[in-house]
A and B are shown apart, each in its own frame.
Chain A
Amino acid sequence: MTPVTAFASESLVQSVDWLTIAPPTLTAVVALVVLVADLFVPEERKRLLGWTAIAGLVAALALLVPLRAGDRSTFCLTADTRAGACSYTADHFTLVIQLLVLGGALLTALLSVTETRERLPAGEYWFLLLSSAAGAALLPASRDLATLVVALEVASLPAFALVGLKRGDRMSGEAALKFFLSSVTATAVTLLGVSFVYAATGTLHLTELAQSLDDVPGRLQTLAEAGVALTLVGFAFKTAAVPFHFWVPDTYVGAPLPVAAYLSVVGKAVGFTGLILVTVVAFPSYADVWGPALAALAALTMTVGNVAALRQVSTRAWSAVRLLAWSSVAQAGYLLVPIAAAAYSSDDQIGATVAYALMYAVVNLGAFAVVALVARRHPENRIADYRGLYATSPAVALALAFFLLNLAGLPPGIIGLFAKVTVFSAAVDAGLGWLAVIMGVNVVIGLYYYLRWTALLFRTPEDAVRNAPAGTPVPHTVPAPITLAIVLTAAAGVVLSGYPQIALRFAANSLF
């Protein structure tokens, strides 16, 4: 690279601020440790691997604390003329997303402890999960397109393998292949877009891109515009925005349940983080291009997701996971609204997406935890299986009802309601009244199916008694890690509902 050679006299060796990059680095290191240890740990001690992975994630989360001032960055260009362009920045935005991603991975890990003991190969599973989490944690910090694409791939590649990890399950393999093919196509398109943008501007750093895209020579204008559009496609795919959503339901159903939970939260976080970085930080001068596009995408995504979720038949096999899959598509639509609003308004709207994502991560993982618990008794996991859950295990039913009402945005799910309110107010503030109205209609549709499920929990379980074959006692064990995950998410939901400021303050302040 020319800049480096030009200033070779200064120093070729960058000083690396290890503390700043500690959270993703530690996650990656623990991933390798687990992989190597898998070779030496005897079969009956395999569960140690899981707890090592969980401890690693907790430590990575703890390492966010010393960074909380949000003023560190590293891998900066040393040249005076290009000061301020860094490849890795740990600002508040990065830290919140890292908290979300690592926290989501931690909860996923808790859900997987029993699963790895029974069905999945432990060493590979933990390695893949942690690698993917490391990539997802790197992504919000990356501030140049190359790092961004690398992080995106580090987060995605292990995910393909995770989806296909159910040994001897044809559906799992098919889901992985579907996921892989469509994802790789999207990545190729993104790379093409990045190369166009690089060709037009000559830089990869996001902040520099923002300046140089303003004065692209006229004959390169088309190239730059095509580059911007193509780059966005890859990230839209990761968020599962319509029309890049078709892989979602089959992948979620085919994947092991914890992996579906992971994809619905961390996978989505990866997508919208990338979108935010690319649109708001790198391409602000093209706001008139991506603003309307994202607004249309948001409207389409939430509508398609909600209508499909509405049409789920509750007696079909795996309808519970299918419904959550479609509802996650719909929620991705809400997440896109503030990003679209950022194109129309000078105020900082991104915080609304972050606040919404935090709420969504907590309650969606909670819902998946309950689903994982119920799946132990009803492997078919139909929504109809949840009928009368309150009668058999009231606490679990109340928790699921709370999570679902949060997703719907109805009291007592106060944080769910207020997260929607911030998104609405971002849209209203930006003058996107039509989008707010579409979202309003969608919220009501969503309410219908969430509430239908909630109502089912409290019905009398009459047919369940009839269907259970007499004489075979149903196993009633509740694994401790899943219980812990439910308790953690429910407690977080309740605390956030009582004091929404914890999550919503991100909506009020500028994060960058």
Chain B
Amino acid sequence: MIDISESVMQFLLASIVAGPLLGAAAALLPAPPGLKGKSPDQAVLRHGVTVTGVILLAAVVLALGFDHDQPSRMQATTDISWIPALDVRIHLGVDGISLPLLVLTALLSFLCALYSYFKMPSGPSPKGFVALLLVLESGTLATFAVLDLVLFFLAFEMVLIPMYFLIARWGGEGKQAAAWKFILYTLLGSVVMLLGLLLIGVKAGTFDMVALAADNGRGLTTSVQVIAVLAIGVGLAVKTPMWPLHSWLPDAHTAAPTVGSVLLAGVLLKMGTYGFVRIVLPIAPDGMRIFAPYLAAFAVAGIIYGSLACLALARPGNKGDLKRLIAYSSVGHMGFVLLGIATMTPTGVNGALFANVAHGLVTGLLFFLVGAVKDRYGTADLDTLAGATGAALYGRAPRLGALLAFAAVASLGLPGLAGFWGEMLALFGAFEPAEGLSRPAFLTFMAIGAFGTLLTAAYLLLVVRRVCMGGPRPAGETPIADVQGYEFAAWTPLVALTVLAGLWPAVLLGLTDPAVQKLLAGGIR
């Protein structure tokens, strides 16, 4: 949109990746004179807001400087040799697939830092909190920006330690066990993934994703591709998470602090699906073709399973935790993303990428809202909240109630909001899967997935019914605060983008479509 020279773009991208790391190191040092603020805690939280803000600004400038006429071309590329012994290069770049995710990550990190500036989760000193938040941001941004398999793995692993500590130190009930479950599951997956990546690197002779994607699997035998896809797929599927490897997710979300949940759902899960699109689809298409029907089957199983689990949690008397419920709904939503990827068609993959971003926006917002509800009521237990008739949020805190209802209908995929397009395109893709995939099987998956949207609507409306509506409140009840100024500030961008993406999907699809076409065609177009 605006013309920025290539070297400035390179610098922007490199600083987006490295900036938060430097910020994290700076957060551990004592504040310099002049920036001391009211107290050391306040100073370091403000430091977090500043750094994430600057990174968000850089990401926005990068998005503006991005050549929107050629989104399939890698832009702002840096390519420096780092470890010649392993042939590992610091290769960075953005195209239409990674740009939306980069901006989403920068935005959510900034909103989380802003939110914690005003509402720091209870736990030890904010110094470590801010530093970990920044390392987490750097790791996720790096995942979306690197173009080298080993570097991708490094970035993938980089988020584990900060997320572990965020859950284990600043989390709620059961945090230790949940944090362990999170890290052990993901690690087991990522070690297997490393083996797959190394297999590709050793057999193809390079770790460079661009070169490998251009090769489109021609340099790899089918058996190598099958093993590699299986190994890499397991690692990514744990992260996504794909049913039946999802069981770390509900615990982690329930125990994590609000900010941790938002980043986990909004950003970390995307790393898994991004890996499928960026690595598995273009680099090992033959292997992917063999596993695609299974992936799709697991994906729709996840959709149905997630929705049924949510329905069970939402029913009265089941002591359902709202955060746990949204975590299960994530399993369902990521099921649609995986289904879209498994179709191996441009329509399906575009839908998957769209659903990815939409899920980040909507579920991020939902976790913020539920966190706010939990702060006000002291619990996220649906039965305690709702009592006999309902929590009547519309009456007690009308703005909060309205926002929650908005996020819920966005999540169930109401046309006109962000949740709709991605899931619809994923189902469209399944209607006509890529050549070589069994159409009847995918038609079945499509039908099951469509049924899943009905279940999703059912439980989300049930939640709205129980939380937002309700009978008249007993007199003398302590009033609860409605949406505060800082909460508005943190949530408005998400609401606005949800509406924007719903009404004008071309903003995103125009970016992703050319890049997806190129990836699926193997660099020749």
Contact = CB atoms under 8 A, between A and B. Distances in A.
B202 A508 contact: no
Interface in B79-106: 82-86, 88
A179 interface: no
Interface stretch (B156-164, B271-279, B296-304, B315-323): B156-164
A447 B124 contact: no
Contacts of B153: 421
Interface in B151-208: 153-154, 157-158, 160-161, 164-165, 168-169, 180, 183-184, 187-188, 191-192, 194-195, 198-199, 201-202
A424 B86 contact: no
A455 interface: yes
B202 A425 contact: yes
Nearest to B159: A411
Interface string A409-453: 011101001100110110011000100110011011001100100
A410 B157 contact: yes
Contacts of B164: 451, 455
A405 B187 CA distance: 13
| Residue from B82, B84, B86, B153 with most neighbouring chain A CB atoms (10 Å) | B86
A121 interface: no
A440 B198 contact: no
B128 interface: yes
A437 B188 CA distance: 11
A405 B165 CA distance: 14
Interface in A467-512: 500-501, 504-508
B188 A444 contact: yes
- The DSSP consensus for interface residues of chain A is helix
B283 interface: no
How big is chain B's contact interface, by range?
A: 20 to 34
B157 to A, nearest CB: 5
Nearest to A437: B195
Contacts of A458: 128, 165, 169
Nearest to A436: B195
Contacts of B195: 424, 428, 433, 436-437, 440
A185 interface: no
A415 to B, nearest CB: 10
A444 B187 contact: yes
A508 B85 CA distance: 5
A443 B161 contact: no
A315 interface: no
Contact of A424 (B154, B168, B194): B194
Interface residues of A, number: 34
A507 B158 CA distance: 24
Contacts of B139: 411
Nearest to A355: B85
B187 A501 contact: no
A211 interface: no
B157 A411 contact: yes
B85 A505 contact: yes
A460 interface: yes
Contact of B124 (A417, A460, A501, A505): A460
A447 B165 CA distance: 15
Contacts of A443: 191
Contact of A422 (B82, B86, B168, B169): B86
Nearest to B201: A425
Contacts of B161: 405, 410-412
Contacts of A451: 164, 183
Given A444-B184, A458-B169, A428 B150 contact: no
A448 B85 CA distance: 29
B202 A501 contact: no
A417 B169 contact: no
Nearest to B150: A421
A501 B82 contact: yes
B84 A508 contact: yes
A410 B88 CA distance: 17
A428 B88 CA distance: 17
A417 B157 contact: yes
A317 to B, nearest CB: 25
A428 B198 contact: yes
B187 A425 contact: no
A46 to B, nearest CB: 41
Contacts of A355: 85
Contacts of B165: 455, 458
A464 to B, nearest CB: 15
A406 to B, nearest CB: 12
Contact of B198 (A421, A501, A505, A506): A421
A106 B194 CA distance: 36
Contacts of A417: 154, 157
Contact of A501 (B85, B191, B199, B201): B85
A418 B83 contact: yes
A418 B195 CA distance: 13
Nearest to B194: A424
A184 to B, nearest CB: 40
Interface in B279-298: none
Contact of B192 (A414, A440, A501, A507): A440
Given A410-B160, A411-B161, A444-B184, A428 B199 contact: yes
Contacts of B194: 421, 424, 440
B187 A411 contact: no
B123 to A, nearest CB: 10
A417 to B, nearest CB: 7
Contact of A411 (B82, B85, B154, B198): B154
Interface in A386-411: 405, 410-411
Candidate in A425, A429, A441 with the most chain B CB atoms within 10 angstroms: A425
A13 to B, nearest CB: 43
A231 to B, nearest CB: 31
Interface in B110-157: 124, 128, 139, 150, 153-154, 157
A505 B187 CA distance: 27
Given A410-B160, A444-B187, A451-B164, A421 B199 contact: no
A500 B83 contact: yes
A506 B183 CA distance: 32
Interface string A272-316: 000000000000000000000000000000000000000000000
A501 B90 CA distance: 13
Contacts of A460: 124
Contacts of A447: 183-184, 187
Interface of B: 82-86, 88, 124, 128, 139, 150, 153-154, 157-158, 160-161, 164-165, 168-169, 180, 183-184, 187-188, 191-192, 194-195, 198-199, 201-202, 227
Interface of A: 355, 405, 410-412, 414, 417-418, 421-422, 424-425, 428-429, 433, 436-437, 440-441, 443-444, 447-448, 451, 455, 458, 460, 500-501, 504-508
Given A421-B150, A458-B169, A501-B82, 19 more contacts: A411-B158, A411-B161, A412-B158, A412-B161, A421-B86, A422-B85, A422-B86, A425-B86, A440-B194, A444-B188, A447-B183, A447-B184, A447-B187, A448-B180, A451-B183, A458-B128, A500-B83, A506-B85, A507-B86
10 contacts: A412-B161, A428-B195, A429-B202, A436-B195, A437-B195, A444-B184, A500-B83, A500-B86, A501-B82, A508-B85
Q: Which 10 residue pairs of A and B lie closest in terms of their CB atoms, listed nearest first?
A: A508-B85, A504-B85, A440-B191, A411-B158, A505-B85, A425-B198, A428-B198, A501-B83, A500-B83, A444-B188
